Amino acid sequence: MSNHATGAALPDFALRHASEFAAAAGLVIDEADGTRVRGHIDLGADHHTPWGIVNGGVYTTAVESAATIGASMAVAGHGQRAVALHISTDLLRSRTEGRAEVTAEPVHQGRTQQIWAVTISDERPLARGQIRLQNVDLDRGSA
């Protein structure tokens, strides 16, 4: 995937190219650009706590992953990527299995920072998150 404005290469977001951690969390990206990311997670036993419900870390990972993808796509044309600075996730309802839809949209997109809101739901909200990200140059090792 590349940014058409500059030709800047973006990573392949397919699970087969993800780290083991990201692949285990299971977020599949269905559509992504710098203003919206949509995806889904097929929740099941691999995501459970010892008590048999989906671990909240799965939702927090989806919040960070979806927002970072969108925020990075938004600044790729400037030779930048976005890195998380603060994540807040509210767990609203427990779940044991089924498809969860993930939608991330920007609240603020500034020159140096962005804030994105993420909703995770089935027929009703399961979790919601907000993340603040820093825009950093691609040639920097970390934030």
Catalytically active residues are 64
Q: In what order do the strands lie in the sheet with 28-33?
A: 28-33, 36-43, 98-109, 113-121, 125-137, 80-91
**What are the CA-CA distances from residue 102 to residues 17, 21, 117 (Å)?**
20, 18, 11
Backbone angles phi, psi at 129, to 5 degrees: -145, 160
Q: What distance in Å separates the CA atoms of residue 65 and residue 123, rounded to the nearest whole number?
A: 22
